[in-house]
Amino acid sequence: MIVSSAGLYGTSASTERIKHNIRPYAINKDVLLQLEPVMFNYIESIDEDQNPEYGFIAEDADRLGLYELVGYDKDGLPDYFAYEKLPVFLLQVIKDQEARIKILEGK
């Protein structure tokens, strides 16, 4: 069971036994590759030690239209970046690159 900061509940189960309407899905790879990793510090009330952090900004993903990777708060504002979903879409990028490499290598 997963609870988002907006209080939404979900599951991380992967079995097809609890899913329906299963179909292929592709994110816009060109837009995905526009995401910029950033280094930042959380505000002091969250991290008094001001340790450097690395990641993405939810508002940036929202502006790019990568809504699949953004969690929203109760007011509909970007709240968090859904890191747990990113590998699913990065696999699409890798597969596309592998296909291009095979073509370039004449395989």
**Could you tell me if residue 15 is inside a domain?**
no
Q: How far apart are the C-alpha atoms of 18 and 46, rounded to whole Å?
A: 37
Q: Would you place residue 4 in the very low, low, confident or very high pLDDT band (cuts 50, 70, 90)?
A: low
**Could you tell me if residue 88 is inside a domain?**
yes
What single letter denotes the amino acid at residue 73?
A: D
Task: Say how many domains are in the chain.
Answer: 1
Which tens digit of pLDDT belongs to each residue from 58-90? 999 999 999 999 999 999 999 999 999 999 999
**Could you tell me if residue 20 is inside a domain?**
no
**Could you tell me if residue 58 is inside a domain?**
yes
**Could you tell me if residue 8 is inside a domain?**
no
**Could you tell me if residue 40 is inside a domain?**
yes
Q: What is the mean pLDDT of residues 9-26?
A: 83
Give me the domain span that covers residue 92: 25-104
Cβ atoms < 10 Å from Cβ of 27: 19
Q: How far apart are the C-alpha atoms of 89 and 26, rounded to whole Å?
A: 8
**Could you tell me if residue 38 is inside a domain?**
yes
Q: Would you say the pTM of this structure is higher than 0.85? A: no
pLDDT given at position 34: 97
